[in-house]
Amino acid sequence: MWPFKSKYDKLTREDVVDAICKLEKESTTIEDEIVAKQKQIEGFKVKGKAEKSREIKLLYAKKINALTAEREQLAQRDMYLLYNLRLLNKLKQSIDDNQFFAKTSKMSLGNLLGDQKGLAKFLNKTLNTRVNAENVLTEADETFKQVEEMYEKNDSIYGVNTNDDELLAVFESEEDMLQFEEDGAAAEENISVNKTDGE
């Protein structure tokens, strides 16, 4: 094993944070300068338009060109800083990820998941327990069905004897009479309605 640590092993999160802070400050300073130069350019443009002398106009034009060139240079520097900041933020994120995964894998429950054989054994045991419990219930259900099928209904209590039969016949005939009377009344009503419509 190589005894010397690489630069990245020695790198701490605080170093990266300090580097980011420095670059952010520089970027803010540059942005303020760009805004100031832009204001100067706008000011000279207004003055140049209002000015009557051609010589002074030329002077303002040259000043505007110089400021524009400086502004573009500053903008490029800012773009470089932004790119640099993006990479430093990625580096910070990698350090955080490294700490996170190292910490999480060391957690005792995380270690258990590393033992694949033990995990398979445990899951099979859980599955067998579940299947056995379900079998107990289904067997009980089968027993219920078998017992219910064996039962025969008692005709003396629930069946129809001769007296019951006679009464049922009477009930059925009374029902027919009632129905006949209702049908007759309805027919008479229809006839009377047709007569009044005709008149």
Partner 1 sequence: MCFRRKTKAESNIQDREIIEENSKTIDVLIKLSNDEEYIEKLRYVQETLKYLTPSTDGKVYAADKKIRNIIGDLKIVLNKSVDKEECKKADGLLRDLDVAIAERKVLE
The tokens for 152 are 């025969």
Q: How many residues bind partner 1 (CB under 8 A)?
A: 12
Alpha-carbon gap, residue 126 to 120, rounded angstroms: 10
DSSP string, 57-69: HHHHHHHHHHHHH
Nearer residue to partner 1 within complex by CB, 59 or 91: 91
Backbone phi, then psi, for 2, in 5-degree steps? Answer: -65, 120
Alpha-carbon gap, residue 42 to 32, rounded angstroms: 16
Interface region with partner 1, contact rule CB under 8 A, candidates 17-25, 120-128, 147-155, 174-182: 17-25
Interface region with partner 1, contact rule CB under 8 A, candidates 10-18, 37-45, 179-187, 189-197: 10-18
Alpha-carbon gap, residue 106 to 164, rounded angstroms: 84
Alpha-carbon gap, residue 28 to 196, rounded angstroms: 101
Output the smallest distance, CB 18 to partner 1, in A.
Answer: 8
Output the smallest distance, CB 28 to partner 1, in A.
Answer: 5
Tell which one of 42, 72, 96, 182 touches partner 1 (CB under 8 A): 96
Output the smallest distance, CB 35 to partner 1, in A.
Answer: 11
Tell which one of 6, 9, 21, 77 touches partner 1 (CB under 8 A): 21
Alpha-carbon gap, residue 67 to 60, rounded angstroms: 10
Output the smallest distance, CB 46 to partner 1, in A.
Answer: 27
Nearer residue to partner 1 within complex by CB, 9 or 197: 9
Output the smallest distance, CB 75 to partner 1, in A.
Answer: 16
Give SS3 for 13. helix
What is the dihedral angle through the alpha carbons of 51, 55, 57, 60, rounded to the nearest 10 degrees? -120
User: By the criterion CB under 8 A, which residues form the site for partner 1?
Assistant: 13-14, 17, 20-21, 24-25, 28, 31, 96, 99, 103
